[in-house]
Structure 1
Amino acid sequence: MIVGVGIDVVDVARFGQELERTPRLRERLFTPAERGLPLASLAARFAAKEAIAKSLGAPPGMSWLDAWVVKDPHGAPAMEVTGTVAARAQVLGVTRFHVSMSHDAGIASAVVVAERDG
Protein backbone atom coordinates (compact mmCIF):
# COMPACT_ATOMS: atom_id res chain seq x y z
CA MET A 1 0.00 0.00 0.00
CA ILE A 2 1.32 3.45 -0.91
CA VAL A 3 1.72 5.74 2.09
CA GLY A 4 2.98 8.79 0.19
CA VAL A 5 4.61 10.10 -2.95
CA GLY A 6 7.11 12.92 -3.16
CA ILE A 7 8.65 14.70 -6.14
CA ASP A 8 11.21 17.48 -6.41
CA VAL A 9 13.00 19.35 -9.18
CA VAL A 10 16.29 21.24 -8.77
CA ASP A 11 17.95 23.75 -11.11
CA VAL A 12 21.51 22.37 -11.17
CA ALA A 13 23.31 25.68 -11.84
CA ARG A 14 21.36 27.53 -9.15
CA PHE A 15 22.00 24.71 -6.70
CA GLY A 16 25.73 24.95 -7.50
CA GLN A 17 25.65 28.69 -6.82
CA GLU A 18 24.04 28.05 -3.42
CA LEU A 19 26.75 25.51 -2.56
CA GLU A 20 29.44 28.03 -3.53
CA ARG A 21 27.78 30.90 -1.66
CA THR A 22 27.36 28.81 1.52
CA PRO A 23 30.34 26.45 1.84
CA ARG A 24 28.99 24.64 4.93
CA LEU A 25 25.77 23.81 3.10
CA ARG A 26 27.40 20.74 1.52
CA GLU A 27 28.13 19.38 5.01
CA ARG A 28 24.60 20.10 6.25
CA LEU A 29 22.91 18.43 3.27
CA PHE A 30 25.12 15.50 2.32
CA THR A 31 26.82 12.56 4.00
CA PRO A 32 30.62 12.29 3.64
CA ALA A 33 30.16 9.63 0.94
CA GLU A 34 27.90 11.94 -1.10
CA ARG A 35 29.93 15.16 -0.84
CA GLY A 36 32.47 14.34 -3.55
CA LEU A 37 29.92 13.55 -6.27
CA PRO A 38 29.56 15.73 -9.38
CA LEU A 39 27.21 18.71 -9.09
CA ALA A 40 24.39 17.17 -11.17
CA SER A 41 24.47 14.03 -9.00
CA LEU A 42 24.39 16.15 -5.82
CA ALA A 43 21.40 18.06 -7.16
CA ALA A 44 19.58 14.81 -7.95
CA ARG A 45 20.33 13.49 -4.46
CA PHE A 46 19.09 16.71 -2.91
CA ALA A 47 15.90 16.31 -4.95
CA ALA A 48 15.61 12.74 -3.60
CA LYS A 49 16.00 14.01 -0.01
CA GLU A 50 13.25 16.59 -0.62
CA ALA A 51 11.07 13.94 -2.27
CA ILE A 52 11.45 11.48 0.61
CA ALA A 53 10.47 14.20 3.07
CA LYS A 54 7.38 14.97 0.99
CA SER A 55 6.49 11.27 0.78
CA LEU A 56 6.48 11.23 4.60
CA GLY A 57 4.29 14.31 4.91
CA ALA A 58 7.20 16.78 5.25
CA PRO A 59 7.18 16.91 9.05
CA PRO A 60 9.45 19.46 10.72
CA GLY A 61 12.65 18.31 12.38
CA MET A 62 13.86 15.73 9.87
CA SER A 63 17.63 15.80 9.25
CA TRP A 64 19.02 15.95 5.71
CA LEU A 65 21.78 13.57 6.77
CA ASP A 66 19.28 10.88 7.82
CA ALA A 67 18.40 9.93 4.22
CA TRP A 68 20.76 9.19 1.35
CA VAL A 69 20.85 7.41 -1.98
CA VAL A 70 22.79 4.19 -2.52
CA LYS A 71 22.87 1.76 -5.42
CA ASP A 72 21.33 -1.67 -5.04
CA PRO A 73 23.23 -4.77 -6.26
CA HIS A 74 21.91 -4.16 -9.79
CA GLY A 75 22.99 -0.49 -9.88
CA ALA A 76 19.52 0.98 -9.35
CA PRO A 77 19.13 3.81 -6.83
CA ALA A 78 17.73 2.96 -3.41
CA MET A 79 17.10 5.05 -0.29
CA GLU A 80 18.79 4.41 3.04
CA VAL A 81 17.29 6.06 6.10
CA THR A 82 18.22 6.41 9.75
CA GLY A 83 17.44 8.66 12.70
CA THR A 84 14.67 11.20 12.19
CA VAL A 85 13.65 9.91 8.76
CA ALA A 86 13.54 6.27 9.91
CA ALA A 87 11.50 7.31 12.96
CA ARG A 88 8.91 9.10 10.82
CA ALA A 89 8.76 6.14 8.42
CA GLN A 90 8.17 3.80 11.36
CA VAL A 91 5.30 5.96 12.68
CA LEU A 92 3.65 5.72 9.24
CA GLY A 93 4.39 2.00 8.87
CA VAL A 94 6.64 2.52 5.84
CA THR A 95 8.57 -0.65 5.05
CA ARG A 96 10.30 0.43 1.83
CA PHE A 97 11.00 3.36 -0.45
CA HIS A 98 11.17 3.41 -4.23
CA VAL A 99 13.26 6.17 -5.82
CA SER A 100 13.87 7.37 -9.34
CA MET A 101 16.28 10.19 -10.18
CA SER A 102 17.30 11.97 -13.34
CA HIS A 103 19.37 14.95 -14.46
CA ASP A 104 19.40 16.46 -17.93
CA ALA A 105 19.40 19.91 -19.55
CA GLY A 106 20.36 21.60 -16.31
CA ILE A 107 17.55 20.10 -14.23
CA ALA A 108 17.75 17.33 -11.63
CA SER A 109 14.63 15.55 -10.43
CA ALA A 110 13.59 12.74 -8.14
CA VAL A 111 10.43 10.86 -7.23
CA VAL A 112 10.07 8.79 -4.06
CA VAL A 113 7.23 6.43 -3.22
CA ALA A 114 6.85 5.38 0.41
CA GLU A 115 5.18 1.99 0.76
CA ARG A 116 4.02 -0.27 3.57
CA ASP A 117 3.03 -3.92 3.53
CA GLY A 118 -0.64 -4.83 3.43
Structure 2
Amino acid sequence: MGVHREVGVDIVDIRRIRLSYERYGDKFLQRVLTESEIDYCRKKKDMMSSVAARFAAKEAVSKAIGSGMSRGFSWKSVEVVNDKHGKPSFRVLDKTLGIAGEKIRLSLSHNGDYAVAFVLLDL
Protein backbone atom coordinates (compact mmCIF):
# COMPACT_ATOMS: atom_id res chain seq x y z
CA MET A 1 0.00 0.00 0.00
CA GLY A 2 1.25 3.51 -0.82
CA VAL A 3 1.98 6.41 1.44
CA HIS A 4 -1.06 8.13 2.88
CA ARG A 5 -0.70 11.92 2.96
CA GLU A 6 -2.48 14.54 4.99
CA VAL A 7 -2.21 18.32 4.63
CA GLY A 8 -2.68 21.22 6.98
CA VAL A 9 -2.55 24.95 6.38
CA ASP A 10 -2.97 27.94 8.65
CA ILE A 11 -2.77 31.70 8.25
CA VAL A 12 -2.23 34.03 11.19
CA ASP A 13 -2.72 37.77 11.50
CA ILE A 14 0.62 38.97 12.89
CA ARG A 15 -1.15 41.93 14.49
CA ARG A 16 -3.16 39.50 16.64
CA ILE A 17 0.05 37.80 17.79
CA ARG A 18 1.62 41.19 18.55
CA LEU A 19 -1.44 42.19 20.63
CA SER A 20 -1.29 38.92 22.58
CA TYR A 21 2.37 39.54 23.31
CA GLU A 22 1.70 43.14 24.37
CA ARG A 23 -1.07 41.95 26.68
CA TYR A 24 0.57 38.82 28.18
CA GLY A 25 4.28 39.31 27.50
CA ASP A 26 6.60 36.35 27.91
CA LYS A 27 3.77 34.25 29.40
CA PHE A 28 2.20 34.20 25.93
CA LEU A 29 5.47 33.12 24.32
CA GLN A 30 6.07 30.43 26.95
CA ARG A 31 2.57 29.05 26.39
CA VAL A 32 2.88 28.58 22.60
CA LEU A 33 6.63 28.16 21.96
CA THR A 34 9.50 26.13 23.34
CA GLU A 35 12.52 27.90 24.83
CA SER A 36 14.53 27.18 21.67
CA GLU A 37 11.81 28.71 19.51
CA ILE A 38 11.66 31.80 21.72
CA ASP A 39 15.44 32.20 21.49
CA TYR A 40 15.30 31.88 17.69
CA CYS A 41 12.49 34.45 17.37
CA ARG A 42 14.18 36.95 19.67
CA LYS A 43 17.15 37.06 17.26
CA LYS A 44 14.98 38.08 14.32
CA LYS A 45 14.52 41.65 13.12
CA ASP A 46 10.73 41.29 13.42
CA MET A 47 10.28 38.87 16.27
CA MET A 48 6.48 38.77 16.03
CA SER A 49 6.53 37.63 12.38
CA SER A 50 8.63 34.64 13.40
CA VAL A 51 6.39 33.93 16.40
CA ALA A 52 3.32 34.10 14.15
CA ALA A 53 4.89 31.73 11.60
CA ARG A 54 5.59 29.17 14.34
CA PHE A 55 2.09 29.63 15.73
CA ALA A 56 0.69 28.94 12.23
CA ALA A 57 3.01 25.94 11.81
CA LYS A 58 1.73 24.30 14.98
CA GLU A 59 -1.89 24.93 13.97
CA ALA A 60 -1.21 23.50 10.50
CA VAL A 61 0.43 20.31 11.78
CA SER A 62 -2.40 19.79 14.27
CA LYS A 63 -4.82 19.96 11.33
CA ALA A 64 -2.74 17.50 9.29
CA ILE A 65 -2.71 15.08 12.22
CA GLY A 66 -6.46 15.52 12.52
CA SER A 67 -6.60 16.53 16.15
CA GLY A 68 -6.62 20.30 15.97
CA MET A 69 -5.28 21.97 19.09
CA SER A 70 -6.89 19.37 21.35
CA ARG A 71 -7.16 15.60 21.76
CA GLY A 72 -3.59 15.10 22.90
CA PHE A 73 -1.87 17.71 20.73
CA SER A 74 -0.49 20.78 22.47
CA TRP A 75 1.61 23.81 21.59
CA LYS A 76 4.69 21.98 22.82
CA SER A 77 4.05 18.66 21.09
CA VAL A 78 6.31 19.83 18.27
CA GLU A 79 9.07 22.38 17.85
CA VAL A 80 9.94 24.29 14.68
CA VAL A 81 13.68 24.11 13.94
CA ASN A 82 15.70 25.53 11.08
CA ASP A 83 18.67 23.96 9.32
CA LYS A 84 21.86 25.90 8.56
CA HIS A 85 20.24 27.28 5.39
CA GLY A 86 17.12 28.43 7.25
CA LYS A 87 14.80 25.66 5.98
CA PRO A 88 12.18 24.95 8.65
CA SER A 89 11.17 21.51 9.85
CA PHE A 90 9.59 19.95 12.91
CA ARG A 91 11.15 18.17 15.84
CA VAL A 92 8.47 15.98 17.42
CA LEU A 93 8.68 16.32 21.20
CA ASP A 94 5.59 14.29 22.08
CA LYS A 95 6.33 10.70 21.03
CA THR A 96 2.74 9.64 21.82
CA LEU A 97 1.69 11.36 18.57
CA GLY A 98 3.15 8.39 16.71
CA ILE A 99 4.81 10.48 14.00
CA ALA A 100 8.41 11.27 13.22
CA GLY A 101 9.71 14.70 12.31
CA GLU A 102 11.09 13.45 9.01
CA LYS A 103 7.54 12.48 7.96
CA ILE A 104 6.41 16.11 8.18
CA ARG A 105 7.26 18.68 5.55
CA LEU A 106 6.83 22.33 6.44
CA SER A 107 6.81 25.58 4.52
CA LEU A 108 6.52 28.96 6.25
CA SER A 109 6.10 32.47 4.92
CA HIS A 110 5.29 35.87 6.34
CA ASN A 111 4.75 39.18 4.64
CA GLY A 112 3.00 42.33 5.76
CA ASP A 113 0.30 41.48 8.27
CA TYR A 114 0.16 37.72 7.75
CA ALA A 115 2.12 34.54 8.38
CA VAL A 116 1.21 31.26 6.72
CA ALA A 117 2.26 27.65 7.22
CA PHE A 118 1.72 24.62 5.00
CA VAL A 119 2.29 21.07 6.24
CA LEU A 120 2.43 17.82 4.31
CA LEU A 121 2.38 14.74 6.53
CA ASP A 122 3.31 11.26 5.27
CA LEU A 123 1.60 8.52 7.26
TM-score when scaled to structure 1? 0.83
- Classify 1:60/1:96 alpha carbon distance in 2 versus 1 (closer, same or farther; 3 Å): same
Aligned equivalents of 2:18, 2:24: Cα separation in 1: 10
Point out where structure 2 has 5 or more consecutive residues left out of the alignment: 42-46
Q: CA deviation at 1:22?
A: 2.3
TM-score when scaled to structure 2? 0.80
Q: Alignment RMSD, CA only?
A: 2.0
Q: CA deviation at 1:13?
A: 1.1
Contact persistence 1:28–1:64 (CA under 8 A)? yes
Contact persistence 1:4–1:113 (CA under 8 A)? yes
Q: Provide the residue aligned with 1:55 in structure 2.
A: 64
Does residue 1:106 correspond to 2:113, yes or no?
yes
* Counterpart among 6, 9, 32 of residue 8 in structure 2: 6
- The percent of aligned pairs where both chains have the same amino acid is 35
Q: CA deviation at 1:87?
A: 2.0
Q: Provide the residue aligned with 1:82 in structure 2.
A: 93
Give the AA of the match of 2:37: E
Q: CA deviation at 1:88?
A: 2.3
Aligned equivalents of 1:94, 1:101: Cα separation in 2: 16
Give the AA of the match of 2:79: W
Point out where structure 1 has 5 or more consecutive residues left out of the alignment: none
